[in-house]
Amino acid sequence: MDLKELLYSKIDQLGVDYIKTKIKGNIQNSEYIIKRLLEECASSSELRNLTNSDYLELAEGLLHYLLAITITPSQRKININNIEVSILVPGARDLRINTDKVIIIQFLKADKIEYDQTIRELLKIQPTLNNIWLVSYYPMVTMVPLKNFVIDGESIKNKDIVQPFSKVLIEINDFLDRTNYTGFRII
10-residue stretch averages of pLDDT, the chain, 187 residues long: 90 95 95 95 78 92 95 91 92 86 91 80 93 92 90 72 92 92 63
Query: CATH for 75-178?
Result: 3.40.91.80
| Domain range summary for the chain, segments of one domain joined by + | 3-69, 75-178
The pLDDT tens digits for 67-118 are 999 989 999 999 998 889 999 999 888 888 889 999 999 999 876 667 888 8
Query: What is the value of pTM for the model shown?
Result: 0.90
Closest by CA to 105, choosing from 124, 122, 86, is 86
